[in-house]
Structure 1
Amino acid sequence: MAKHPSAPYVLRPFEGLIGEPDWVALREIVPAATVAVRTTAAYGSRDVVITTVLPMAWPALHRADGVVLVALQTSSNFGDPSRDVAAVLLEALELEPGNPVTATAAPGPGPRLQDVLDQSVPFDVVVHEGFDYWLAPDADVTPEVRDSLEAANESIIATRKLTSVDAAYWCRMRDREYLRWAMPHDEQLLVDALARLHAARESGIGESKLVGYFRSTGIVVPVWELATGSEADDVEGPALDFEARLTKALADPTPLDANARRARAGLVARQVTLR
Structure 2
Amino acid sequence: MGKSSRKKNRAAEAPAVDGAVGPRQPCPCGSGRRYKACHGAADGPPPAFVARPFEGYASETDLVALRELVPAATAPLKLKDSDREVRLCTLLPGAAPAMVREGGAIWLGLQVQHAYGDPARDLGAVLTKAVEHAEAGETGIVGLTEAPGEGPRFTDLVEDEALEVTVHEGFGYWLDDVEDRTPEMDAALDQANGSVHPTVKLKGVEAAYWTNVGSKEHLRWAMPEDEDALLNALTRLHTKGADTLVEGGRLVGMFRAHGVLVPVWDLPVGTGAEVLEEPAKKFAAELADALADDSELTSAERSAKSSLAGRQVTIR
Given the two structures, how large is their TM-score scaled by the length of structure 2? 0.80
Structure 1 residue 186 displacement after superposition: 0.4
Amino acid across the alignment from 1:233:
E
Does the alignment pair 1:167 with 2:237?
Answer: no
Q: CA 1:237/1:124 → structure 2, altered by over 3 Å: closer, same or farther?
A: same
Cα distance between partner residues in 2 of 1:80 and 1:142:
39
Q: Deviation string for 1:233-272 (max 9, x for gaps)?
A: 0100000011111111111111111221121111111111
Alpha-carbon distance in structure 2 between the residues aligned to 1:102 and 1:8: 20
CA–CA separation in structure 2 for the residues paired with 1:149 and 1:33: 15
Secondary structure of 1:237's counterpart equals helix
Instruction: For residue 109 of structure 1, give the secondary structure of its aligned residue in structure 2.
Output: coil
Q: 2:106 aligns with which of 68, 79, 95?
A: 68
Structure 1 162/274 Cα, relative in aligned 2: closer, same or farther at 3 Å?
Answer: same
Who is 2:89 aligned against? 51
Q: Which amino acid aligns with 2:276?
A: V
The equivalent residue for 2:216 is: 176
The structure-2 alpha-carbon separation of the partners of 1:265 and 1:245, relative to structure 1 and needing over 3 Å to count, comes to: same
Partner deviation per Cα, 1:118-170 (whole Å, 9 max, x = no partner): 22x43111101110111213155694x65542221111010000001000000
What is the CA deviation profile of residues 77-112 of structure 1, one whole-angstrom value per residue up to 9, with x for unaligned ones?
211111100111111122245401255421111101
User: Residue 125 of structure 2: which of 78, 81, 87 is its match?
Assistant: 87
SS of the residue corresponding to residue 295 of structure 2 reads: coil
Residues 1:151 and 2:191 are matched in the alignment? yes
> For each residue in 1:159-208, what CA deviation from the matched residue of structure 2 results, as whole angstroms up to 9, or x when unmatched?
00000100000000123111000001001100111111111111111222
How far apart are 1:16 and its partner, in Å? Answer: 1.8
Counterpart among 257, 277, 296 of residue 216 in structure 1? 257
Report if the CA contact (8 A) 2:126-2:144 is conserved: no
Distance in 2, matches of 1:106 and 1:139, equals: 37
Q: Could you tell me how far apart the structure 2 residues matched to 1:49 and 1:154 are?
A: 23
Separation of aligned partners in 2, 1:80 and 1:266: 31
Cα distance per residue 1:10-63 (max 9 Å; x no partner): 21111121211001000100000111011112xx33221111111111111111
Q: What's the TM-score once normalised by structure 1's chain length?
A: 0.91
Aligned counterparts of 1:85 and 1:219: Cα–Cα separation in 2: 18
Which stretch of the first structure deviates more once superposed, 98-107 or 174-183?
98-107
1:221-236 → structure 2 map (5 Å cutoff): 221-236=262-277
Q: Which residue of 1 aligns with 2:149?
A: 108
Q: Does 1:254 align with 2:295?
A: yes
The structure with more radius of gyration: 2
Structure 2: distance between partners of 1:56 and 1:177: 28
CA drift at 1:70 = 0.6
Structure 1 equivalent of residue 19 of structure 2: none
Q: Which residue of 2 aligns with 1:240?
A: 281
Cα deviation, residue 9, structure 1: 2.5
**Cα–Cα, structure 1 residues 66 and 140, in superposed 2: closer, same or farther, change >3 Å?**
farther
CA distance in 2, matches of 1:162, 1:104: 37
Secondary structure of the residue aligned to 2:194 is: helix
Inter-partner Cα distance in structure 2 for 1:76 and 1:34 = 20
Which residue number corresponds to residue 166 of structure 2? 126
Aligned to 2:6: none
Residue 80 and residue 141 in structure 1: after superposition, are their counterparts in 2 closer, same or farther (change >3 A)?
A: farther
